[in-house]
Amino acid sequence: MKHSLTTTMLIGAFLFGLTGLQAAPQRERDDEGWYHSRDSFYQTEGWRMRLFERVREDLNRVQAVAFTGSDEYRIVKTKEELTDLQSKMAGGKYDEPELDSVIGALGKVVADNRLSARDRDMLTDDLTRLRDYRGHHEGSR
C-alpha cells in the first residue's frame, strides 16, 4: 500500500509539472503580445498626451509579478505619486517638483526591485521618457 501511495504521488507531481510546461509557452506568447502592443503605442501620433497612463500600465504590469514587501511598496508609492501628478496636470497645473518626485520614485523601482531584464528595460525607457518630458515641457525651468 505504501508503495502504491508513493507511486500515485509521483505520477501526480509529474502530471502537474507537465501542466506547468504547457502554460509557460502560452504565458510567453501573451507577454510577447503585451510588449509588442507597448512598443506599438510609442509609434502612434498622440502617445505623449497619454505618457502617464502608459507608465501606470507598465507599473501595473510589473506589480502583477512583483515580490511582496518592499518591491511592491515601491511600486505602490510610485503609482500614488503618479496619481497626484496626473490630478494636478488634469487641473492644468504643471508641477515640476511633483514630476521630479515621480521620476525619483520610478528610479528607485528600477534600481532596487527584483525585475526581469525586460521589465527593467521597459521601466528604464519610461524613466527616459519622463525625463525628456520634463526637459521639453513648456513652462519648465
Indicate whether 106 pLDDT > 80.
Answer: yes
**Whole-number average pLDDT of the chain:** 80
CA–CA separation, 36 and 33 (whole Å): 5
Q: Which residue has the higher pLDDT, 90 or 31?
A: 90
Give the chain's radius of gyration (CA, Å). 21
What is the rounded average pLDDT of the residues 23-44? 60
* Grid cell at residue 77: 508609492
- Total number of residues shown for the chain: 141
3-state secondary structure of 82: helix
Tens-place pLDDT, residues 7-26: 665 565 555 555 544 444 44
Cα–Cα nearest to 55, from 86, 11, 16, 15: 86
